């Protein structure tokens, strides 16, 4: 059964006349009669009774014609959905994102994306940079958002930079870390972040912290610092600016320039042709532009 066969049955049931139906379908009566016979042979039952006054649907014919109508209605619905795809952004946007960005920056961007494109869906996973790159390489996501440097060979968009600060409730100058007995609180990371901090510390003091506490999450690190347990080096993305009773000392390199961390959007060239990906990139660019204007 083809869609044209279903259309033929619906027209025959409506017209109840071979001649009128043939005219509507732009076929000859003999051709229409032959096609009807083939359809009835397919179903194994008579669908119409032929009388001198025209055609009468059999009980079996009513069932098959109702089925034909539902098929044609479904076809119209599919056509409408296909047309809507061109008028609206549909599909699922799959993103793997560095946890720190997923917690502090991305939610605002996704909120705006879904406001503008309500028909789109979002699948988000967060983790370390190595996990994000693995998801990209294996094709599990469309886009990856990572921190720090990368040798990614596909398309790479720079999103933003944020400065690093030494944060503490007591220390007001960087040099004071050599005098305190409280620990340096660090969070685990598989990116270049840890090495950057080690390099800075060694350049600054030609030594290493006396005591160190390592935690698994940056949020834990921040809360321990805010509660006076020790001091930490945190990126600006984690600091809202509303913190009280804490000192934030910017980290400087050997040229007295602010040390910053970059955030990058990665993906293969082919995925940037997807409508939902293009739309997301547009929202990201607008969000960043508005934030800096």
Cβ 251 vs Cβ 171: under 8 Å? no
Annotate 135-146 with b (16+ C-beta within 10 A) or e (fewer). Answer: bbeeeebbbbbb
Domain architecture of the chain: domains with CATH: 3-85 (1.10.10.10), 92-160+262-292 (3.40.190.10), 163-260 (3.40.190.290)
pLDDT digits over 276-285, tens only? 999 999 999 9
Better pLDDT: 250 or 216 = 250
- Going by the DSSP 8-state scheme, the letter that residue 11 receives in this structure is H
Residue 236: count other Cβ atoms within 10 Å of its Cβ: 19
- Please state, for a pLDDT cut of 70, what percent of the chain lies above it: 95
Question: How many Å apart are CA 110 and CA 118, to the nearest integer?
Answer: 11
Paired with 215 in beta bridges are 187
Q: What is the C-alpha to C-alpha distance for residues 184 and 247, in angstroms, rounded to an integer?
A: 15
Query: What pLDDT was estimated at residue 209?
Result: 84
Chain Cα centroid distance, residue 6:
40
Q: What is the pLDDT of residues 42-80, one digit of tens each?
A: 999 999 999 988 899 999 999 999 999 999 989 888 876
DSSP label at residue 178: G
Closest CA to 137 of 288, 283, 266, 40: 266
Q: Which long-range contacts (CB under 8 A, 24 or more apart) does 50-58 make?
A: 54/16, 54/17, 54/18, 55/12, 55/13, 55/16, 55/17, 55/18, 56/16, 57/13
What are the pLDDT digits (tens) for 236-278? 988 877 667 889 999 988 888 998 888 999 999 989 988 899 9
Strand 155-168 to 260-267 pairing: antiparallel
Report the predicted TM-score, pTM, of the whole model to 2 decimal places. Answer: 0.67
């Amino acid at each position: 059964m083809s869609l044209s066969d279903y259309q033929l049955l619906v027209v025959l049931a409506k017209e109840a006349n071979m001649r009128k139906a043939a005219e509507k379908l732009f076929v000859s009566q003999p051709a229409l009669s032959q096609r009807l016979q083939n359809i009835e042979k397919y179903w194994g039952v008579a669908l119409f009774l032929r009388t001198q006054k025209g055609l009468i649907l059999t009980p079996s014919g009513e069932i098959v014609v109702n089925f034909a109508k539902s098929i044609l209605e479904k076809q119209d619905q599919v056509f409408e959905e296909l047309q809507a795809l061109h008028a609206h952004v549909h599909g699922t946007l799959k993103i793997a994102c560095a946890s720190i960005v997923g917690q502090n920056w991305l939610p605002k961007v996704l909120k705006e994306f879904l406001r503008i494109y309500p028909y789109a869906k979002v699948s988000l996973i967060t983790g370390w940079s190595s996990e994000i790159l693995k998801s990209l390489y294996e094709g599990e996501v469309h886009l990856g958002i990572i921190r720090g440097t990368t040798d990614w060979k596909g398309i790479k968009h720079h999103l933003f930079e944020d400065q690093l600060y030494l944060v503490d409730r007591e220390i007001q100058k960087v040099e004071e870390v050599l005098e305190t007995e409280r620990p340096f609180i660090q969070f685990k990371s598989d990116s270049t972040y840890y090495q950057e901090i080690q390099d800075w510390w060694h350049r600054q003091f030609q030594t290493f912290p006396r005591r160190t506490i390592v935690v698994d999450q940056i949020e834990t690190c921040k809360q321990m610092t805010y509660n006076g347990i020790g001091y930490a080096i945190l990126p600006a993305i984690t600091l809202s600016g509303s913190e009280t009773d804490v000192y934030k000392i910017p980290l400087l390199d050997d040229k007295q320039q602010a040390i910053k961390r970059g955030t990058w959007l990665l993906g293969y060239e082919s995925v940037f042709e997807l409508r939902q990906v293009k739309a997301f990139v547009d929202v990201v660019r607008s969000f960043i532009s508005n934030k800096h204007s």
